[in-house]
Structure 1
Amino acid sequence: MASSDQQLRALLAADRAVTADRVAALSQDIEAIVEAARLVATDDEHDPEGSTIAFERSQTTAFLADARKHLDDLDSALERIEAGDYGRCELCGQPIAPERLLARPAARTCINCAS
């Protein structure tokens, strides 16, 4: 089981690194979009480019929120490993199947409770 724990910890750490990079990149994208919009006098309602800029900002903001939530989920999973609670369903208390944890290392619930 120790090998499996090490594998899951490695998956979580790798996913966390990629996700942290994604959060940083999306944050920069939002800053660039906001700065570009500030420098150009556009009227979102009447300028054809205005709606595109608003959509791009909204979409990037949603992607950033998703990435931040995933990062929080990964951090929580790493904390559960340290506390010895990793791999137990938060709803029913039963073990989460190893296959589920390999597919979704940050999973908090077993398949039955996730449905």
Structure 2
Amino acid sequence: MADFERFRILLEEERGRKLALLPALRADISAANAARQDSNVDDEHDPEGATIAFELSQASALLNQSSAGLAEVEAALHRISDGTYGVCAVCGGPIAEGRLEARAWTLYCIEHSGAGRRHGR
């Protein structure tokens, strides 16, 4: 049986990192939007406009990824609280401690690790 308190601490640290990152990403998006609005040029034909569009796209993708990661971490913390942490969502078997050390928020044992990609997670 895994030491769930250790994983709770790891997950809380990861949640803290993600929560600290989100405001910076939102600020980057706001800055890119402001730069885009201040520019009266066509993004498609202006090299600076393309840079702004790229930065906006990149920051938006990172924000979405970080928000999704935060949701996964919070769901894992909830599973610790309700006693279902460390149990594979596919087979109901235990998730190896080494796998939990690598991805403390995982829902799947190593055998079913591709299940999330097949189900859009």
Q: Confirm or deny a common fold (TM above 0.5).
A: yes
Q: 4+ residue stretches of structure 1 with deviation over 2 A?
A: none
TM-score (norm 2): 0.89
Displacement of 1:67 after TM fit?
Answer: 0.3
Letter in 2 for 1:76: A
Are 1:45 and 2:39 an aligned pair? Answer: no
Letter in 2 for 1:34: N
Q: Distance in 1 between matches of 2:67 and 2:110?
A: 24
Displacement of 1:101 after TM fit?
Answer: 0.5
Letter in 1 for 2:45: H
Give the structure 1 partner of residue 65 of structure 2: 66
Measured on the aligned residues, the alpha-carbon RMSD in Å equals 1.2
In the TM superposition, what whole-angstrom CA distance separates every residue of 1:26-50 from its partner, at most 9, and x where no partner exists? 0111011101211222210111111
Q: Distance in 2 between matches of 1:89 and 1:16?
A: 21
Give the structure 1 partner of residue 30 of structure 2: 31
| Count of matched residue pairs | 114
Give the structure 2 partner of residue 101 of structure 1: 100
TM-score (norm 1): 0.94
Give the structure 2 partner of residue 56 of structure 1: 55
Paired residues of 2:35 and 2:52 also in contact (CA < 8 A): no
Unaligned runs of 5+ in 2: 115-121
Q: Distance in 1 between matches of 2:27 and 2:51?
A: 18
Displacement of 1:88 after TM fit?
Answer: 0.1
Q: Distance in 1 between matches of 2:15 and 2:84?
A: 19
Q: Distance in 2 between matches of 1:82 and 1:67?
A: 23
